Amino acid sequence: MPNDILISPSILSADFAALGQAVRDIDSAGADMIHVDVMDGHYVPNITIGPAVVKALRPHSAKTFDVHLMITPADPMIGAFVDAGSDIITVHPDAGPHLHRTLQSIKAHGIKAGVALNPATSPRVLDHVMDSLDMILVMSVNPGFGGQSFIPSQLAKIAELRAMIDATGRDIILEVDGGVNPQTAQDCIKAGANALVAGSAVFKGAGTYSENIAALRGSQT
């Protein structure tokens, strides 16, 4: 069913001068999660927001805050983003020396932990941490900027990760971020994704936010 697909609009594509209103709007439009892209200008070539902004946005929605840390090192900032109100924190395998330790640190705060895989990163990096994961995020663009085009080679990775998740018997969210629109969403869902991050397709596409979110859900056939 289309409603089984979680939609997590990325506020990276929202009006930064009115982020609180944007969060309220996508919440009421039917978003399942609020995707927060945190960039440090070091791990990726852009700078976005920090924990103070996440904390300021937290009162605007009770929905899950899906916080993607594109920063290195990630470990020193985990506590601050937890305190700011994150519900899921996703890190990159190369954002610190010990991925397992980083995931355990996130879980120790009582929230969910995820790992994001860049286009050239193999799923095999997750072989020995699957039992620590609540989410796997497939980057279908190179991280750092919104509005990029979907990289088709990532569909095979999504399918591989779906098989890995199913083999564990665990309820791990398989999310895709980058170039997701009603057309590419269909391919991602068929490959096994059950969560979609969309920025431009929600905030800049034709129609209202609710129509744009419904179009992403309706991509499932």
User: Which secondary-structure segment (H or E) carries 52?
Assistant: helix 51-57
Q: How far apart are CA 43 and CA 25, in angstroms?
A: 30
User: Which is catalytic among the residues 40, 66, 134, 177?
Assistant: 177
User: Which secondary-structure segment (H or E) carries 186?
Assistant: helix 182-191
**Number of neighbours of residue 75 by Cβ within 10 angstroms:** 17
Where are the extended beta strands (E) located within the chain?
A: 6-9, 33-39, 64-70, 88-91, 112-117, 135-139, 173-177, 195-198
Decide if 37 is catalytic: yes
For residue 74, give both structure tokens.
């990630």
- Using CA atoms, how far residue 104 sits from 86, 133, 215, in Å, is 16, 10, 36
Decide if 131 is catalytic: no
User: Which is catalytic among the residues 32, 37, 40, 187?
Assistant: 37
Per-residue b/e over 36-53, b at no fewer than 16 CB within 10 Å? Answer: bbbbbeebbeeebbbbeb
Which residues does the annotation mark as catalytic? 37, 177
